[in-house]
Amino acid sequence: MDSDVNYGNNTRPATGKLTRRQWLARVIGGAAALGLNPQLVAGTQDADMLMRRIPKSGETIPAIGLGTARTFDVGDESMAREPLREVLREYHALGGRVIDSSPMYGNAEQVVGDLAADLNIGGRLFYATKVWTSGQRAGIAQMEQSMRRMRTETIDLMQVHNLVDWRVHLKTLREWQEQGRVRYVGITHYLNSAFDDLADIMATEPLDFVQLPYNIANREAERRLLPLAAERGIAVLVNVPFDGGSLFSAVRGKPLPTWASEFDCGSWAQFFLKFILAHPAVTCPIPATRKRKHLIDNMQAGAGRQPNAQQRGRMVEYFASL
């Protein structure tokens, strides 16, 4: 859970990962800190973290990602970085891997790279970042800078941010993909007004990923983009899963429905993330947070039962009634 706006390296399996019992102990502890029902959390103990398949390769990644917009844009001061270090440590310990960033996010790439190196987990993360400039030479320079900042020679997913000069950058990215400098290629946008452009590119270009806005209050992507992604075998990262924090404003002081326990949901953050995850075309939402307890809450959405189609419809009706 977090009110921050969220727009979003290697494939070696994580070593030193917590056992299921340790994972459960952590999330129960986090639930207690959040005032959630530990018994409900304990009910997920027989479930592993939800994994999702990348259609183009068959590789699986954990279904809850970590965005870095605004939250990781801090300076060198240890006081500013320490909470983010704990968030990243906890995220990895609970099985998370997908870190989404961009040059647009100020110092976020550098902070991610520094903290991951300090924690010695950089080689076990799935780095997704973006190119956000015009021109081939400028794009190459920016992507090489991202690699230096994130301390990696290979970016797992390089995305054309907000479709800026996308034709030029996709050409470069295909060459880099052949060379092994990037593993997957994608495009992004955060506005519904760009959906027609996203759809046209998705329908005609060989993409591995698309990143788009989708949440219980903004379901426009269900009309065309999510079905198209499924049809074309394109993995989907979901940005603004909490609608820039407005979802929490809408439910402030309102009770979580008792029937949310049917799909192991113990908080509004989990309610919103499980709604997204239950769509079959979605690969991974990327909520951002700078708080450890919110990170733990978010990660619980990837465990236990997920809503079925009927329950998703009920979730929409309930949210609309508030």
Average pLDDT for 76-94: 97
Q: Is residue 12 part of a domain?
A: no
- Per residue in 159-211, pLDDT (tens digit) is 999 999 999 999 999 999 999 999 999 999 999 999 999 999 999 999 999 99
Q: Which of 294, 172, 187 is nearest to 232 (CA)?
A: 187
pLDDT over 70 at 45, yes or no: no
Cα distance from N-terminal residue to C-terminal residue, the chain: 19
Q: Is residue 49 part of a domain?
A: yes
Q: Is residue 13 part of a domain?
A: no
Q: Which of 205, 201, 271 is nearest to 241 (CA)?
A: 271
Q: Is residue 110 part of a domain?
A: yes
pLDDT over 90 at 48, yes or no: no
Nearest-angstrom CA–CA distance, 86 and 128: 20
Q: Is residue 9 part of a domain?
A: no
Q: Is residue 77 part of a domain?
A: yes
pLDDT over 60 at 47, yes or no: no
Our CA angle for 215, 206, 123, nearest 5°, is: 70
3-state secondary structure of 276: helix
Q: Is residue 10 part of a domain?
A: no
Average pLDDT for 56-73: 97
pLDDT of residue 1: 55
If you ran DSSP here, which 8-state letter would residue 13 be given? P
pLDDT of residue 8: 36
CATH code for position 242: 3.20.20.100
Regarding predicted confidence, which is higher, 26 or 78? 78
pLDDT category of residue 16 using cuts at 50, 70 and 90: very low
Average pLDDT for 42-61: 80
pLDDT of residue 23: 53
Place of tokens 């046209």: 200
- Per residue in 86-130, pLDDT (tens digit) is 999 999 999 999 999 999 999 999 999 999 999 999 999 999 999
pLDDT of residue 51: 97
pLDDT of residue 221: 98
Q: Note down the domain range covering 90.
A: 20-321
- Per residue in 246-301, pLDDT (tens digit) is 999 999 999 999 999 999 999 999 999 999 999 999 999 999 999 999 999 999 99
Number of domains in the chain: 1
Average pLDDT for 231-245: 97
- Per residue in 125-148, pLDDT (tens digit) is 999 999 999 999 999 999 999 999
Nearest-angstrom CA–CA distance, 142 and 130: 9
pLDDT of residue 28: 56
Average pLDDT for 9-34: 50
Q: Is residue 141 part of a domain?
A: yes
Exposed (0-12), middle (13-18) or buried (19+): which is 39, by Cβ within 10 Å?
A: exposed
CB 114 within 8 Å of CB 148: no
In the chain, how long is the greatest CA-to-CA distance?
55
180 half-sphere exposure, CB direction, 13 A CA radius: 3
Average pLDDT for 201-228: 98
